[in-house]
Amino acid sequence: MLNEPLSRLGNHGGMAPLPHSSAPARLYEQGIAALDAGRHAEAVIALEQALAGNPGDPATLYALGEAAAQLGLHQTAARFFQEVLIVAPDRHEATIRLSRALSAMMRHGDAVDALRDALARFPEQAGLWLALGNTVRETGDIDNAVTFYREALRLNPGSVEARGNLADLIFDAGEITEALALYDDALRRAPANAQLHVNRGLALLTKGDIDAGWRDYEWRLKIPARVIERTGAPKRWDGAPRKGRTLLVMAEQGVGDQLAFASFLPQLLEDGPVILECEPRLVPMFARSLPRLKVRPSVIKREGATLRADYTWLREVGGAALSIELASLPRRCGGKPRDPQPWLKPDPAERDAWLAWRRTLGHERVVAISWRSGLKGGLRDTQYAPLARWAQFIGKLDAAVVVAQYGQVDGEIETLEALSGRKLHIPPALDQKLELDRTAALLSAMDAIVSAPTAVASIAGALGVPTYKVLHLGSWTAMGADREPFTPSVVCVTPDHAGQWRLVFERVLSRLGPA
């Protein structure tokens, strides 16, 4: 039985409802209304009764499929969409939703087959081409995704989604001018589309257009899936002098982002008290490094499709007059930190322990590496260098090599050792994902860090450790420079063209020099 709240389901695929005179039609309408209101159990009961009164009705089957998909029951959703297509094979929206359900189950090949079968019969359906582009994009097949998005636009020049998705891929390929033109065109058609604004903002920041980039980045707060309903938060700060009033800085985004945006905290403390809400694993790091801060672990709860945070606890710490989301600090503070300095201080005892451990590694210089984030697969993998390239780099590196990779997959370290002919040193008794404070101490004991764009680079940068971020192309956080303005010890090492990993690692070796 489906038993969780449900967010709005839009137009339910454009399926025509049953005639209004029938009892099943009234039940269908009640079910749709209940779904839109988040009364899930009531909705499912009504829709199942409607289906019992009119078996095979495509609109009811589609609505049940949407309900299942929204709840993450992708196999059930796929079954409902398949039943729609049995009775109404020309319902392209059902084919599209079927492809999404299959992709969510990592059955991308089946999703592609379903879409290609439909396109063989309906080649002029732009939505099918768009869905095919989305599906192959998830697998990392960028060239074909671009081709399919362009075909969708040829058939439907007004498609905002196709234009925005194409812009994303053009941007990732480094063609920022063309990408910005596509984003601008899409936003003329859909000026309130928050995701388009954010994506354009990242392109503008990559180009170095800081003011316009951060202005667009503020739209992230309007993306439905990322909106946090904050109960009891004080009035939002507009960036004006606080004159000693206490500011609450509210948590959002991941560990790496929180560490990067925290580079603004020292200058905020110059204008009055600051209460920082952050990811719980970061609390001891912030409390030790910036003792004037009042630090609280964030508690963001999901209730159905809604994210909520409650700030009634503010009374316990003396309250705050103003509040601001952490990632809005650049917009409020001039775009870049005024005087960026390493602010993160490692635990002294832990650092001493890691310094003692590194002396056992048998090399004067010690470099830590991290080759990807904890998430992998599909399009994300194109942003990370292949293990074979890392192995070539390790084989040439004049240093002991320490593994600073969290979320290791069985066989990755063995593969790197086999291909490089080198021994990789794994820090003993350290969970690098959960024990971030101890991980920071480890990184502080290294001579350098070489990392993919991950939280490892963010921690190392906040510590001031020389860090080389190896990139598929560019990085919006560099804002057009070759060093991170938030953490200047982080050098962004980029190729001339996207994906030239051999060149990237040659440039890292050149910067590192001999031991």
Is residue 506 scored above 70 in pLDDT? Answer: yes
Structure confidence at residue 34 (pLDDT)? 79
Structure confidence at residue 393 (pLDDT)? 98
Higher-pLDDT residue of 220 and 11 is 220
Residue of 334, 336, 289 whose CA lies nearest to 464:
289
Structure confidence at residue 1 (pLDDT)? 31
- Enumerate residues 6+ apart whose C-beta is below 8 A from 407: 373, 374, 433
Q: What is the CA radius of gyration of the chain?
A: 26
Structure confidence at residue 67 (pLDDT)? 84
> pLDDT by residue (tens digit) across 230-253?
999 999 999 999 999 999 999 999
Structure confidence at residue 474 (pLDDT)? 85
Spelled out in words, what is the top-level CATH class assigned to the domain 228-332?
A: alpha beta
Category of 106 on φ-ψ map: left (φ > 0), alpha (ψ -120 to 50) or beta: left
Task: For the chain, give every domain's residue range.
Answer: 12-190, 228-332, 348-512
Q: What is the DSSP pairing of strand 247-250 with strand 274-278?
A: parallel
379: confidence class by pLDDT, cuts 50, 70, 90: low
Q: What is the DSSP pairing of strand 322-325 with strand 306-310?
A: unpaired
What CATH code would you report for 348-512?
3.40.50.2000
Is residue 144 scored above 60 in pLDDT? Answer: yes
Structure confidence at residue 377 (pLDDT)? 57
**Given this chain, do its domains 12-190 and 348-512 carry the same CATH topology?**
no
Helices first, then strands: H and E counts in the chain: 22, 14
What is the average per-residue pLDDT within 475-504? 94
Give 101: exposed, middle or buried? Use CB within 10 Å, 0-12, 13-18, 19+. buried
Is residue 11 scored above 90 in pLDDT? Answer: no
Q: Give the whole-angstrom CA distance, residue 302 versus residue 350.
A: 35
Cα 285 from chain centroid? 23
What is the average per-residue pLDDT within 461-490? 94
Q: What is the DSSP pairing of strand 294-297 with strand 467-470?
A: unpaired
Number of Cβ within 10 Å of residue 405's Cβ equals: 25
Is residue 159 scored above 50 in pLDDT? Answer: yes
Higher-pLDDT residue of 119 and 41 is 119
- 400-403: strand order across its sheet: 424-425, 400-403, 366-370, 448-451, 467-470, 490-493
**Cβ atoms of 490 and 461 closer than 8 Å:** yes
Structure confidence at residue 303 (pLDDT)? 81
What CATH code would you report for 12-190?
1.25.40.10
Structure confidence at residue 69 (pLDDT)? 84
Residue of 302, 296, 513, 480 whose CA lies nearest to 397:
513
Percent of the chain surpassing pLDDT 70: 93
Q: Which of 3-7, 146-150, 461-465 has the lowest mean pLDDT?
A: 3-7
Place of tokens 């080759």: 371
Structure confidence at residue 84 (pLDDT)? 96
Is residue 12 scored above 60 in pLDDT? Answer: no
Structure confidence at residue 38 (pLDDT)? 66
**Cβ atoms of 267 and 343 closer than 8 Å:** no
**Cβ atoms of 204 and 292 closer than 8 Å:** no
Structure confidence at residue 515 (pLDDT)? 72
Higher-pLDDT residue of 145 and 32 is 145
Category of 388 on φ-ψ map: left (φ > 0), alpha (ψ -120 to 50) or beta: alpha
Structure confidence at residue 398 (pLDDT)? 95
> pLDDT by residue (tens digit) across 180-210?
999 999 999 999 999 999 999 999 999 999 9
Number of Cβ within 10 Å of residue 345's Cβ equals: 18
Q: Give the whole-angstrom CA distance, residue 32 versus residue 139.
A: 34
> pLDDT by residue (tens digit) across 39-67?
767 887 888 889 989 899 999 999 999 88
Place of tokens 């192309």: 473
Structure confidence at residue 184 (pLDDT)? 98
Is residue 304 scored above 60 in pLDDT? Answer: yes
Q: Give the whole-angstrom CA distance, residue 235 versus residue 250.
A: 12
**DSSP character at residue 426:** P
- The average confidence (pLDDT) of the chain is 91
Percent of the chain surpassing pLDDT 90: 80
**Cβ atoms of 360 and 476 closer than 8 Å:** no
Is residue 37 scored above 80 in pLDDT? Answer: no
